[in-house]
């Protein structure tokens, strides 16, 4: 099997549908010799912030000289970025090799693994074969029945900010979603719960952090609420955006909770708080409140649910690099299953223009015409019709300015989906 054949297999296996639960992935892993059993894992779930927390952890542990693996799906910029080892993407040859082993192991299974299950198994087999010291695993969706939820005793479980997303799968209120996310927690394992806001829903205000703590304790987890700010005074967060402070703080609480265990496992490595911070200072995570141009100012952010939109809006409102008299131009593409009306209610006030574009995945994406209509309705609802110029564009680059002498006050914000980030490289 070559690389393209491996990609095709992942895209087509399990086409008959999803089998709820983790039985299929566990059977597949057993057929592979249970590679996950020997892995030292930090398992991360949550609605927003998973990728940022994983990035901080990856850079911190790499600085200690550890052979660090990282698994997250789907990709944002490069297909192979979903499986990383020692700071590098998996090679095409290694990916094809790992998927080939999974395909062979899946022969004879009554229920074929889905693409995500097959790729997850391939990642764990690859990490085991390459003798990764620590792997950082990001849940695909939810927690309880996610294909990554196969570890008996992880080093730590981390749950980042919980909000309303994937409701058709995870539940229609914040408590149900939080209960699902808490499904990754394990007995006698540190469970780091990120600082997160209360969420209003259907006339009730929910406290997802309290739900997470309750559920983690029921499972015997050692709960650590990352409420105390332990970021060193004066430390400059390498990931911009005000919301990254809570993500960094959650990562630091996680490192603090696992530091002694890491020293025990790897006595020959230099593992210390100072080394962690040195590594974190080098962290980079594209597509999250990322300023990719200064002339004109263009900011891209994958915000695709209301909580992420609130964080993006706060970052725009408080960013000292932006002029006080800024004119914000919004460029948005979004999947049709997202709560785009609420995202629009958050983002449209104060903007001077809104441009809808289509996502690369036209099947799942909301048509730009529908997004234009929704933006118009929201502007009427908010009483700001006439203050926001609403239009659509055939492409991202048509939506972006091309002035030779850009205005200092015009700020262009591309948001609504991580898949939009791919368009900057196309």
Choose between 170 and 33: higher pLDDT.
33
Residue 320 has pLDDT above 50, yes or no: yes
Q: What is the pLDDT of residue 172?
A: 57
* Range 281-298 average pLDDT: 91
Range 210-234 burial, b when 16+ CB lie within 10 A, else e: ebbbebbeebebbbbbbeeeeeeee
Residue 310 CB-half CA count within 13 A? 12
Alpha helices in 383-420 (DSSP H): 396-399
* Range 346-374 average pLDDT: 95
Terminal CA-to-CA distance of the chain, rounded, Å? 27
Q: What is the pLDDT of residue 221?
A: 96
Q: Residues 91-102: pLDDT tens digits?
A: 999 999 999 999
Do 351 and 391 meet the contact criterion of CB atoms below 8 Å apart? no
What residues does each domain of the chain span? Answer: 3-280, 290-425
Q: What is the pLDDT of residue 42?
A: 98
Least confident of 71-75, 369-373, 377-381: 71-75
Q: What is the pLDDT of residue 8?
A: 96
Alpha-carbon distances of 211 from 111, 154, 193, 196, 199, rounded to whole Å: 34, 21, 10, 12, 12
Instruction: Using DSSP bridges, classify how beta strands 351-356 and 190-194 pair: parallel, antiparallel or unpaired.
Output: unpaired
Q: Residues 118-156: pLDDT tens digits?
A: 999 999 999 999 999 999 999 988 789 999 999 999 999
Q: What is the pLDDT of residue 414?
A: 96
Residues forming beta bridges with residue 199, ordered by sequence position: 206
Structure tokens, 205: 């205000």
pTM for the full predicted model: 0.89
Q: What is the pLDDT of residue 167?
A: 44
Domain range 290-425, CATH architecture = Alpha-Beta Complex (3.90)
Do 61 and 155 meet the contact criterion of CB atoms below 8 Å apart? no
Q: What is the pLDDT of residue 234?
A: 94
For residue 322, which of 384, 397, 388, 241 has the smallest C-alpha distance?
A: 241
SS3 50: helix
**pLDDT band at residue 425, thresholds of 50, 70 and 90?**
low
Do 68 and 133 meet the contact criterion of CB atoms below 8 Å apart? yes
Q: What is the pLDDT of residue 16?
A: 63
**Helix (H) or strand (E) segment spanning residue 296:** none
How far is 408 from 389, CA to CA, in rounded Å? 19
* Range 372-380 average pLDDT: 97
Q: Residues 187-219: pLDDT tens digits?
A: 999 999 999 988 777 777 889 899 999 999 999
Tell me yes or no: is domain 3-280 CATH 3.80.10.10: no
Q: Residues 381-395: pLDDT tens digits?
A: 999 998 999 999 999
């Amino acid at each position: 099997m070559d690389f393209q054949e491996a990609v095709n297999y992942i895209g087509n296996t399990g086409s008959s549908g999803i089998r709820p639960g983790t039985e299929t992935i566990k059977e597949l892993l057993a057929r592979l010799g249970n590679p996950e059993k020997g892995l030292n894992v930090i398992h991360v779930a949550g609605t927003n912030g998973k990728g940022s927390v994983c990035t901080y952890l990856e850079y911190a542990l790499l600085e200690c000289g550890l052979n660090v693996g990282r698994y997250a799906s789907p990709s944002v910029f490069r297909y192979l970025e979903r499986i990383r080892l020692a700071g590098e993407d998996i090679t095409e040859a290694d990916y094809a090799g790992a998927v080939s082993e999974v395909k062979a192991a899946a022969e004879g299974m009554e229920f074929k693994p889905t693409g995500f299950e097959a790729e997850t198994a391939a990642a764990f087999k690859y990490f085991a074969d390459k003798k990764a010291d620590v792997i950082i695993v990001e849940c695909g969706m939810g927690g309880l029945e996610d294909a990554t939820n196969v570890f008996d005793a992880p080093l730590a479980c981390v749950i980042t900010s919980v909000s309303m997303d994937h409701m058709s799968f995870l539940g229609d209120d914040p408590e149900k979603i939080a209960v699902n996310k808490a499904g990754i927690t394990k007995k006698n394992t540190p469970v780091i719960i990120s600082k997160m806001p209360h969420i209003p829903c259907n006339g009730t205000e929910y406290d997802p952090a309290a739900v997470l703590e309750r559920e983690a304790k029921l499972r015997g987890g050692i709960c650590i609420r990352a409420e105390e700010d332990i970021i060193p005074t004066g430390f400059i967060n390498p990931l911009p955006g005000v919301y990254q402070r809570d993500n960094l703080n959650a990562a630091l609480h996680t490192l603090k909770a696992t530091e002694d265990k890491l020293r025990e496992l790897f006595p020959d490595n230099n593992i210390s708080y100072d080394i962690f911070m040195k590594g974190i200072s080098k962290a980079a995570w594209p597509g999250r409140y990322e300023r990719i141009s200064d002339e004109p100012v263009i900011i891209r952010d994958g915000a695709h649910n209301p909580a992420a939109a609130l964080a993006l809006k706060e970052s725009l409102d408080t960013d000292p690099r932006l002029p006080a008299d800024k004119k914000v131009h919004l460029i948005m593409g979004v999947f049709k299953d997202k709560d785009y009306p609420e995202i629009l209610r958050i983002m449209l006030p104060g903007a001077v223009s809104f441009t809808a574009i289509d996502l690369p995945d036209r099947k799942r994406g909301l048509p730009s015409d529908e997004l234009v209509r929704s933006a118009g309705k929201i502007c009427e609802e908010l009483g700001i019709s006439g203050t926001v110029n609403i239009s659509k564009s055939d492409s991202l680059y048509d939506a972006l300015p091309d002035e030779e002498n850009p205005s200092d006050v015009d700020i262009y914000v591309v948001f609504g989906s991580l898949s939009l980030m791919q368009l900057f490289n196309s």
